[in-house]
Amino acid sequence: MAGIAVSTTINGDITEYLCQPDETLLDVLRDRLGLTGAKEGCGTGDCGACSIILDNRLVCSCLVLGAEAEGRRIETVEGMAHGDQLHTLQQKFLEHAALQCGICTPGFLIAAKDLLAKNPDPSEEEIRFGLAGNLCRCTGYDKIVRAVQDAAIVMKGA
Amino acid sequence: MTVHNIRVGESKRGDASDGTLAEAVGGRLSRVDGPAKITGAAKYAVEQQLEGLAYAVLVESTIASGKVRAIDTASAEASPGVLRVLTPDTIISLRTASDWLGTTPPDKPYCPLARDITFSGQHVAAVVAETFEQAVAAAALVNVSYDETPSIVDLSDGKAGDGIAIDAMTKEWGDAPAAFAAAPVRICAAYNTPREYQAPMEPHGLIARWEGDRLTVWEPSQWLDGMARTYAEWFEVPFENVRLVSPYIGGGFGSKALALSHGAVAASAAKMIGRPVKLVMTRPQTFTGYGGRAATRQTVTIGADRDGVIQSIVHRGVNETSIDGMWVEPLGSVTSIMYATPNFSSKQNVVRVNSVVPGAMRAPGENPSAFGIESAIDELAYEVGIDPLEIRLRNYAEQDPHAKKAWSTRQLREAFAAGAERFGWSRRSPKPRSMRDGNQLIGWGVAAGTYPVRRAYGEAVVRILADGSVEVESSSIDMGQGTYTILAQTAAETLGVPADDVVVKLGDSRFARAGVSGGSRLAGVMTGAVHKAATSALDQLVGLAISDPRSPFHALQANTLVVANGRIGSPRGDGPDVSIAELLKSVGRDRIEATGDTMPANSTAEDRYKNYTTIAMALPHTEGDYSRYSWCAHFIEVRVDEDFGTVRVSRVVSALDSGRLYNPKLAESQWKGGIIMGIGQALLEEGIMDRRHGRIVNNNLADYLVPTNADIPDIEVISVGIPDPHSSALGGKGVGELGIVGVAPAIANAVFHATGKRVRDLPITLEKLI
Amino acid sequence: MRDFSYLRATSTDAARQAAALPGAMLLAGGTTLIDLAKCGVAEPDTLVDITHLKGLDRIAVDERGATIGALARMGHVADHADIKSRFPAISEALWQAASAQIRNMATIGGNLMQRTRCPYFRDPANFAACNKRVSGSGCSAIGGVTRGHAVLGTSEACIAMYPGDLATALVAFDATVHLGERKLLVDDFFLLPGTTPDREHAIEPGEMITAIAIPGSAAARRSTYLKIRDRQSYEFAAASAAVGIEFEADGRTIRDLRVALGGVATKPWRVRAVEDALKGKVLEPETVRAASLLAVEGAVDHGANHYKIELAPRVVARAILKLGETA
């Protein structure tokens, strides 16, 4: 099968792939590129587990076509740590036990990264509503809020 | 497992509530599988990349009752990329497998694709194609025609009848009806809970691969050995030929413990096309592909004296089951043990409806049971004019009222005290509608919860390797509850090595066997098994050090040695001090290995197989002299908008008795998770039925509402447990199920306090209060 | 999803031409379209991607009003400082819609084309009858699960609720939609179901939404969007109200009032009866509550959605009174 040739930047690396017109970006990332950090919880934009950042916009990759990513810049959870150096949010999620089964976790981390990039000093309410597009069922909401608050303090001081 | 490849970089010491080292049992060690999960490196079952993978997609029935007349597969077969279309006529024949009790079924075939339709959403066909997208497109082209017959929609259906009496659920003592009739204060009410769904964030799915007559299944699983048994029986291959792999599980809540029909379809497809096959349910399919919590109806009558002391409880319960399956949700489980009463009667029926067979969902039985009794006692409190907390203490059960045995430990009084103190319960204004903030009516509610301590036997392998590191192996699992972490802590403490030097390997049925991770039993079972195996490995290690002529300790002629922080020395600190690696090198060993199991000494191989692949050998929680339960008390504040009827939970304080906590940091997460799921149950969650079609129509995460972060307030949990030696080897009781039990009634009670309206049907949606 | 071909439009004109072909649909964010394609509702032969077209995402605001390009993302508009200050109801409506992710994806033009969440509309495999999908096939919702269905603007052919928030605020403030040169009121852009519920928008083949324009007004400047729902976030409205108010110099007498309802009707629902009843009156809670009952004049329930008839006037009253408090 021929496909659509797409050229993107993923986590800073220029990445080219072929995909079918009806393939979502989430499926491209997971099945073609082996980047399985973004998860599929619903496939219809209702849970946020597939969250990635596309050209500085936090999006659900299950509702983006692979073909739409042409020329765009993609950030996934796999790009958050630098080598062994975890991102502050990752560090704080660990410390605050803000994860359990781990399916929602990459989406939460990416969404929290986007949130803090736009609002470095969010109130608790802004965090709770800002991250309301990411469902967690285990559920770590309370601890996730504490982790993001703590990360915000560290990141502001950095 | 790559979980230790990334250094956590935080202090391992300190941060322990009771002075315990973080990495010892009872310490607040951070999740050891965390680094893999937060970096995206953790590969879940269906994320394995295999050569030649084909994709299967299910086709489901669109009627609730009837027969499949014909399936036209021509268009689907002609669709691009399609490898095979499976129907009841073309799928390979399987053999019926035993149930989870191990009951051997009659020797009859099993077809995971249905000809006789008993519920909407039943699997009737499947399409296998080169790509997922092709399989989806072709599945839409499979044309199924039916002969439809009338269906029984739910408990309220006129055709449903009274159902089947489940005599084993009957619990009676004294003369409850007579005592009720004679009681000066009597209350009687019916409580209903709807179908609810586990909705783990990871949908069900699997990859199946055959190599000759050996089957490998990568599937999220709460019970590898139990599911391997089912696959082996379906396909009539030896148990040892089936390997289940489930390194991480994206939540289960009871729904991932059994091999289900979609698994049979995928494994059949893989066998038929000679290639590995991946099948993942769509989110809508997860609402009918397996069972959520059964809808329930309970009637609770309480007779009491004017001081609120209970004289009699009469309880009747009904839950849904399917047309051809049997699910009993034990509705009298909390009713019969929470309060002291001289007279008691509880009976239960199940009613067959056209639904997928319901299944286990977090605290099956105890959860809806608590909604009934914990709402009813609140009603009694208002009836007699006694504080809802005080009435619970007045009827406190000093022993198990049903089993008539002493509690192993029951810190419920302590839970009430700690929770009330922290919540500020004494400042509560007793009258309904007496607390408000502008348009918001404020209500405070309390309810208790409990869950039995389920016990079983476990097995683990502990290896000390040449470099001094330690491996723990078990086919038990971690679906987020923290098994990896607490087993690392157990091995580290027992062996005297840093937790960082312990690698725990779980989720592969080739490892030492394990029973089900369900009913909050796994932590107690597995810490006991690992403790035993590690103790045995330590004995071997010290034995070598003392007795091997090549050991630096040989000349000491010591009776014992001490291992701490990965080094061996004499108890007095004199003499040699060597690392475990140095010792093993000196005595010429590349490893020490010990298998520990907690089975009775005379157990046969058959006993072991039965123990790990069925639940038939689980130990009753009332075995011997004690009755064993975990306990909790929830104190909850709600705000109800007086115009809109919207309920928001604004504060939660819960005090819980799970015995000794192996890792408080992770146990708190489990408790909070249960509480949050309880908030969803109380206010949002309900499968909504189209009665004409017998179909749940809100089968997605936009319409089946689970709480979002914005719905959740600050939640405080307080541990009031003490080590319970009768419940487990290391003193813990159950954690995972406990937190949800009692949350819904605490919220309903708070809503009554806020509004004066008693809502007895969950969820408490705005139209019930407007 | 059914197999389709994917085309990146190189210009607005090319997009219009490509989208005019049978089976072609514009892709302008995809939060509705890809979702519905996965449900088997949308079955495009070709998707014409316009999200990268330049110049269609501008937001221009001055005292005369706001012009918002069709490809501006919902999230950007919600956060735009001048929209927040001059059209708070617009910002609040957007901010309370969906999730951060969806708001970052969905465009304003695409949002106007959002389809209903009626579960029968979304499930063609199980419910063949849906006049919105297939004209004349019947309505599965009538007699079925109706908790989320409309009580206003319904017909015997369709009771599907319009789920959007933004358009509710737009109709309150007389916004227009630009289809290239052709301009029409947003209120007229959305069609009542009548006997043709399959036709939801007054847009012709070959037309494309290029912008929306919202006239500036004192009422828009003092406005709010109140959305009531079961879940605090990430849910469609049980009932919502976009309200704007302008007082006379006394600060108490209502000179201008705009009221529109969401979550209860088959299209964004302007309620002039409430506006007319209160204009010229002094803002008093009892007066406002009484007038707000007019918001649901003519409402018809289908059982489980009856609560919306009770709820909607209370939402309107609360929103008006809230604006009064800030006087």
Report the CATH number that the domain containing residue A67 is assigned in CATH: 3.10.20.30
CA distance B334 to B366: 6
- Name all chains with 3 or more CB-CB pairs below 8 Å to chain B: A, C
Residue A108 — φ and ψ, nearest 5°? -65, -40
Per-residue pLDDT tens digits of chain A, which is 158 residues long: 579 999 999 999 999 999 999 999 999 999 999 999 999 999 999 999 999 999 999 999 999 999 999 999 999 999 999 988 999 999 999 999 999 999 999 999 999 999 999 999 999 999 999 999 999 999 889 999 999 999 999 999 87
**In terms of residue numbers, what domain contains A44?**
4-76
Domain-ending residue, one of A47, A76, A105 = A76
Which is it for the CA torsion C312, C318, C321, C325, positive or negative?
Answer: negative
Q: Do B684 and C230 touch (CB under 8 A)?
A: yes
The pLDDT of residue B9 is above 70: no
Superfamily of domain C218-325: CO dehydrogenase flavoprotein, C-terminal domain (3.30.390.50)
Given its phi and psi angles, is residue B697 left (phi above 0), alpha (psi -120 to 50 degrees) or beta? alpha
Q: What is the pLDDT of residues B736-762, one digit of tens each?
A: 999 999 999 999 999 999 999 999 999
Find the residue in B nearest to C144 (Cα). B690
- Sequence-ordered strand ranges (E) for chain A: 4-10, 13-19, 51-54, 57-60, 73-75
Q: Do A21 and C6 touch (CB under 8 A)?
A: yes
Using CB atoms, pick whichever of C4, C39, C99 lies closest to residue A21: C4
- Sequence-ordered strand ranges (E) for chain C: 5-8, 24-27, 46-49, 59-62, 65-69, 176-179, 182-185, 211-215, 223-228, 239-247, 254-262, 269-270
Q: Which of residues 54-73 of A touch B (CB under 8 A)?
A: none
Q: Do B30 and A95 touch (CB under 8 A)?
A: yes
- Best probe of the C interface among B676, B706, B766, by most C CBs < 10 A, is B766
Cα three-residue angle C104-C108-C113, rounded to 5 degrees:
115
Same domain, A14 and A65: yes
CA distance A153 to A130: 17
Contacts 24+ apart (CB under 8 A), C296-300: C296/C151, C296/C152, C296/C264, C297/C273, C298/C152, C299/C151, C299/C152, C299/C264, C300/C151, C300/C152, C300/C154
CB B83 within 8 A of CB B130: yes
Q: In the prediction, which pLDDT does A1 show?
A: 58
Q: Give, in order, the Cα–Cα distances in Å from C69 to each of A63, B528, C61.
A: 22, 65, 12
Q: Cβ-count burial of B429 within 10 angstroms (0-12 exposed, 13-18 middle, 19+ buried)?
A: exposed
Residue A61 to chain C, least CA–CA distance (Å): 9
Assess A22–B contact: CB distance below 8 Å, yes or no: yes
- Name all chains with 3 or more CB-CB pairs below 8 Å to chain A: B, C
Assess C179–A contact: CB distance below 8 Å, yes or no: no
DSSP one-letter code for B479: S
CB A71 within 8 A of CB A133: no
CA distance B567 to B550: 17
Q: Do B133 and C1 touch (CB under 8 A)?
A: yes
The encoded tokens of residue C19 equal 């989208």
Using CB atoms, pick whichever of A24, A48, A57 lies closest to residue C73: A57
Find the residue in A nearest to C2 (Cα). A22
- Best probe of the B interface among C307, C309, C320, by most B CBs < 10 A, is C307
CA C43 to centroid of chain Cα atoms: 23
Q: Do A138 and B669 touch (CB under 8 A)?
A: yes
Q: What is the pLDDT of residues C227-281, one digit of tens each?
A: 999 999 999 999 999 999 999 999 999 999 999 999 999 999 999 999 999 999 9
Sequence-ordered list of residues with C-beta below 8 angstroms from that of B420, at least 6 positions apart, any chain: B389, B426, B446, B633, B635
Same domain, A18 and A71: yes
* Residue A83: inside a domain: no
Q: How confident is the model at residue B1 (pLDDT cuts 50, 70, 90)?
A: very low
Whether B51 is catalytic is no
Sequence-ordered list of residues with C-beta below 8 angstroms from that of B557, at least 6 positions apart, any chain: none
With H, G, I as helix, E, B as strand and everything else as coil, classify residue A148: helix
Cis amide leading into B763 (omega within 30): yes
With H, G, I as helix, E, B as strand and everything else as coil, classify residue C54: coil
Using CB atoms, pick whichever of C230, C236, C314 lies closest to residue B643: C314
Which is it for the CA torsion C25, C27, C32, C33, positive or negative?
Answer: positive
Q: Do B709 and A131 touch (CB under 8 A)?
A: yes
Q: Give, in order, the Cα–Cα distances in Å from C323 to each of B456, C285, C319.
A: 63, 12, 6
What is the set of domains in chain B, with CATH numbers?
365-454+622-768 (3.30.365.10), 456-613 (3.30.365.10)
CA distance A47 to B242: 34
Q: Which of B425, A112, B324, A43 shows the shortest CA–CA distance to C35?
A: A43
Contacts 24+ apart (CB under 8 A), C182-188: C182/C207, C183/C213, C186/C112, C186/C212, C186/C268, C187/C268, C187/C270
Task: Work out whether strand B242-245 and strand B310-321 pair parallel, antiparallel, or are unpaired.
Answer: unpaired
Find the residue in A nearest to B736 (Cα). A138
Mean pLDDT to the nearest integer, B201-205: 98
Catalytic pick from B219, B366, B685, B737?
Answer: B737
Sequence-ordered list of residues with C-beta below 8 angstroms from that of B84, at least 6 positions apart, any chain: B90, B127, B128, B269, B272, B273
Q: Which of B11, B16, B8 shows the shortest CA–CA distance to B34?
A: B8
CB C63 within 8 A of CB C20: no
The pLDDT of residue B15 is above 50: no
Whether pTM exceeds 0.90: yes
Q: Which of C163, C200, C174, C209 shows the shortest CA–CA distance to C68?
A: C209
Residue B740 to chain A, least CA–CA distance (Å): 11
Q: Taking each helix axis from N to C terminus, what angle separates C285-292 and C307-325, rounded to the nearest 10 degrees?
A: 150
- Name all chains with 3 or more CB-CB pairs below 8 Å to chain C: A, B
Q: Do A142 and B248 touch (CB under 8 A)?
A: no
Residue A45 to chain C, least CA–CA distance (Å): 7
Number of Cβ within a 10 Å radius of residue B161: 11
Assess C51–A contact: CB distance below 8 Å, yes or no: yes
Same domain, A66 and A101: no
Q: Which residues of B347-365 are buried (b: 16+ CB within 10 A; e: fewer)?
A: bbbbbbbbbbbbbbbbbbb
CB B139 within 8 A of CB B128: no
Q: What is the pLDDT of residues B590-608, one digit of tens each?
A: 999 999 999 999 999 999 9
Domain residue ranges in chain C: 5-49, 218-325
Which helix (H) or strand (E) segment holds residue A156: the answer is helix A141-157
Residue B407 to chain A, least CA–CA distance (Å): 30
Cis amide leading into A139 (omega within 30): yes
Same domain, A57 and A101: no
The encoded tokens of residue B704 equal 């089946």
* Residue A52: inside a domain: yes
Q: How many domains does chain A fold into? A: 2
Task: Work out whether strand B277-280 and strand B205-211 pair parallel, antiparallel, or are unpaired.
Answer: antiparallel
Assess C120–B contact: CB distance below 8 Å, yes or no: yes
Q: In the prediction, which pLDDT does B558 show?
A: 78
List chain B residues with CB under 8 Å of A128. 709-710, 712
Q: Do A20 and B133 touch (CB under 8 A)?
A: yes
Sequence-ordered list of residues with C-beta below 8 angstroms from that of C221, at least 6 positions apart, any chain: C85, C86, C87, C88, C244
Q: Which of C18, C15, C51, C20 shows the shortest CA–CA distance to C33?
A: C51
Per-residue pLDDT tens digits of chain C, which is 327 residues long: 778 999 999 999 999 999 999 999 999 999 999 999 999 999 999 999 999 999 999 999 999 999 999 999 999 999 999 999 999 999 999 999 999 999 999 999 999 999 999 999 999 999 999 999 999 999 999 999 999 999 999 999 999 999 999 999 999 999 999 999 999 999 999 999 999 999 999 999 999 999 999 999 999 999 999 999 999 999 999 999 999 999 999 999 999 999 999 999 999 999 999 999 999 999 999 999 999 999 999 999 999 999 999 999 999 999 999 999 865
The encoded tokens of residue B449 equal 């919860």
Q: In the prediction, which pLDDT does B6 show?
A: 30
Same domain, A72 and A16: yes
Same domain, A10 and A57: yes
* Residue A82: inside a domain: no
Q: How confident is the model at residue B7 (pLDDT cuts 50, 70, 90)?
A: very low
Find the residue in B nearest to A129 (Cα). B710
Same domain, A63 and A100: no
* Residue A54: inside a domain: yes
Assess C99–A contact: CB distance below 8 Å, yes or no: yes
Q: In the prediction, which pLDDT does B4 show?
A: 30
Residues in chain B: 770
> What's the ipTM?
0.98
* Residue A81: inside a domain: no
| CATH at residue A102 | 1.10.150.120
Assess C234–A contact: CB distance below 8 Å, yes or no: yes
Contacts 24+ apart (CB under 8 A), B232-235: B233/B95, B233/B96, B233/B97, B233/B98, B234/B94, B234/B95, B234/B96, B234/B97, B234/B110, B234/B259, B234/B264, B234/B267, B235/B94, B235/B95, B235/B267, B235/B271
Q: Do C232 and B439 touch (CB under 8 A)?
A: no
Task: Work out whether strand B343-352 and strand B406-407 pair parallel, antiparallel, or are unpaired.
Answer: unpaired
Q: In the prediction, which pLDDT does A139 show?
A: 81
Using CB atoms, pick whichever of B691, B693, B708 lies closest to residue C232: B708
Sequence-ordered list of residues with C-beta below 8 angstroms from that of C132, at least 6 positions apart, any chain: C115, C116, C118, C121, C158, C160, C193, C197, C198, C200
Residue C81 to chain A, least CA–CA distance (Å): 14
* Residue A105: inside a domain: yes
Q: Which residues of A108-128 are buried (b: 16+ CB within 10 A; e: fewer)?
A: bbbbbbbbbeeeeebeeeebb
Find the residue in B nearest to A24 (Cα). B133
Q: Across-strand partners of B280?
A: B205
CATH hierarchy code of domain C5-49: 3.30.43
Assess C147–B contact: CB distance below 8 Å, yes or no: yes
Q: Do B711 and C307 touch (CB under 8 A)?
A: no
CA distance C105 to C72: 10
Find the residue in C nearest to B689 (Cα). C145
Domain-ending residue, one of A31, A52, A76 = A76
Q: Which of A130, A149, A153 shows the shortest CA–CA distance to A48?
A: A130
The share of chain B scoring above pLDDT 70, in percent, equals 97
Using CB atoms, pick whichever of B644, B703, B709 lies closest to residue C314: B644
* Residue A104: inside a domain: yes
Q: Across-strand partners of B314?
A: B301, B345
Assess A110–B contact: CB distance below 8 Å, yes or no: no
DSSP B365-421: THHHHHHHHHHHHHHHHHHHT--HHHHHHHTB-SS-TTT--EES---HHHHHHHHHH
